[in-house]
Amino acid sequence: MAFREYKIGARLFGVALGGSMVITLYMPTVDMTSVQVTETGLKKQLSYGRIGGFSYEDPFLQGEGKPKTVVLNKDPKTGESMETVEAYVYEKGVPFAGGINHPRILGKGVTELSKEKGRVTEADDSQGAVFLVQRGTYQGETVNYIENATATRGWQPQQVLKAGGDANTHYIGSGKIMFVREGCWWCHTLLPEQTQDWQAFGIPPRLGDFNGESPTAFGSDRKAPDLLHVGSRNSSKEWMMMHFFNPRLVQPHSIMPRFDYLWGEKDADGNPIDFAAWRTAYNKYKDGQTVYPPEIPSYAPDSEIRYLIDFVLSLK
């Protein structure tokens, strides 16, 4: 009798656990995929790529296998001037974002325009592609959609990267990997609350802002400012460099750890970075022996700190 009761209890526990998983995981997913994605949601998923965390293309969270965001003011194919746009470049072999692989998740109107006018279904990740966020009309309603510029304009990934140049290329997708890997979300949130947060950190996001993003990085506890709109509050790359190299340079009582190791071993000129000498010079400044703090090394083009700063500055 006891054994039978044990089996019944175990089965009931399994049913309860399965039901809770359906309620907490499956049902919100169905709800989100039925919501029309916003312009912010499109830009986020196209700049972040397929997965913004651990994935088979980036098992060690190095920021590999992610798209690049390129700012263009000239047509990369003809060289003619045009209105400034952000092009999302997926090089050969880089996995596409969810909205490209599964347009049905984009919501009514966005799905239809992305397939019919944007031709996203013609994109092939084995060959690479370039995408844009465009605005169109569906049944009298203005909506944003994804355009496959490789199919509609003949833009090729390497062509766009060359036209934009390194200065106009941003590693936002790789930067989100750094944000997740370094545990920034342990102290910072990306979710202003519907309270006085509005005055300090900006308006809360909408559900459609997260359509196609995987995973989100809301954060679990706020020990530091919310960062959802930080790029609008502070767009200074120089300030961000100081803050990440040693937060005490800009906030004397900051509890944030240093992230100077993300600079790597060499600076932008290829010279070795002497971290010990820098810290010695900083301690002299902190103790009042010098008037000015030591200069922050310029980061190398392929440094992880560049990725992280690109991501943070994209949060607007």
Strand partners, 137: 142
User: What's the pLDDT score for residue 25?
Assistant: 66
Burial of 62 (C-beta count, 10 Å sphere; 0-12/13-18/19+): middle
Matching residue, tokens 């994804």: 146
Is residue 220 within a helix (H) or strand (E), and if so which, with residue range? Answer: none
User: What's the pLDDT score for residue 6?
Assistant: 66
User: What's the pLDDT score for residue 28?
Assistant: 66
Helices and strands (DSSP H and E) totals, the chain: 13, 5
- Is 245 in contact with 259 (CB distance < 8 Å)? yes
Helix axes 172-181, 39-48, angle to 10 degrees: 80
User: What's the pLDDT score for residue 32?
Assistant: 63
User: What's the pLDDT score for residue 207?
Assistant: 86
User: What's the pLDDT score for residue 89?
Assistant: 98
Strand partners, 147: 132
User: What's the pLDDT score for residue 197?
Assistant: 73
Rounded CA separation 109/38 (Å): 11
**In the structure encoding, which two tokens stand for residue 99, read together?**
């909205």
Q: What is the pLDDT along the chain (316 residues), one digit of tens a residue?
A: 455 656 777 788 888 888 887 777 666 666 666 789 999 999 999 999 998 888 888 999 999 999 999 999 999 999 999 999 999 999 999 999 999 999 999 999 999 999 999 999 999 999 999 999 999 999 999 999 999 999 999 999 999 999 999 999 999 999 999 999 999 999 999 988 767 777 778 888 888 998 888 888 888 778 899 999 999 999 999 999 999 999 999 999 999 999 999 999 999 999 999 999 999 999 999 999 999 999 999 999 999 999 999 999 999 9
